[in-house]
Amino acid sequence: EDHRGETVYDTTTGNQVYISEPGPLPENVTSVSPVGEYQKWDGKAKVWVKDEAAEKAAQLRQAEETKNRLLQIASEKIAPLQDAVDLDEATDKEKASLLAWRKYRVQVNRVDTLKPVWPEKPASSL
């Protein structure tokens, strides 16, 4: 058998494998290309199928990362505004902005990352 020059796909990872040596194909490869992300090989049916669990895990991970990033942004906006209030030097505009950012941070913290609906960021008025 000579499969040199053929591109096949690893059934464990979905990665392309280039065949450069003569001989039979390894058992863990297929000539069928995975279509899209989150695919897993169904060895019985000899087809790629959507890996729902991997897709949900990736979506959850992405939502958690987004939530943490938005909480960090809100905290960074809140800190200097809170300083101005604590030092009794805040303008009315700064006080309103502080309240808006604190409400936003609470709303972000309450987001269910399984079904995320993100609140709108406060308008930057400073």
Which residues face 7 on adjacent strands? 18
CA distances from 27 to 9, 16, 60, 92, 125 (A): 11, 14, 33, 71, 62
> Which helix or strand (DSSP H or E) is residue 41 part of?
strand 39-42
Q: What is the mean pLDDT of the chain?
A: 95
Domain coverage including residue 83: 53-109
| Number of domains observed in the structure of the chain | 2
pLDDT tens for each residue of 54-97: 999 999 999 999 999 999 999 999 999 999 999 999 999 999 99
User: Which structure tokens are listed for 33?
Assistant: 């290309």
Question: Within a domain: residue 92?
Answer: yes
With respect to residue 121, please indicate whether it lies within any of the assigned structural domains.
Answer: no
Question: What is the residue type of 12?
Answer: T
What own/partner pairs with CB < 8 Å and gap ≥ 24 does 64-68 have?
Answer: 64/113, 66/116, 66/118, 67/108, 67/109, 67/111, 67/113, 67/116
Domain co-membership, 59 together with 95: yes
Q: Does residue 22 sit in the same domain as residue 36?
A: yes
Same domain? 43 vs 58 = no
Whether residues 104 and 72 share a domain: the answer is yes
Residue 123 resides in a domain: no
- The pTM for the full model equals 0.74
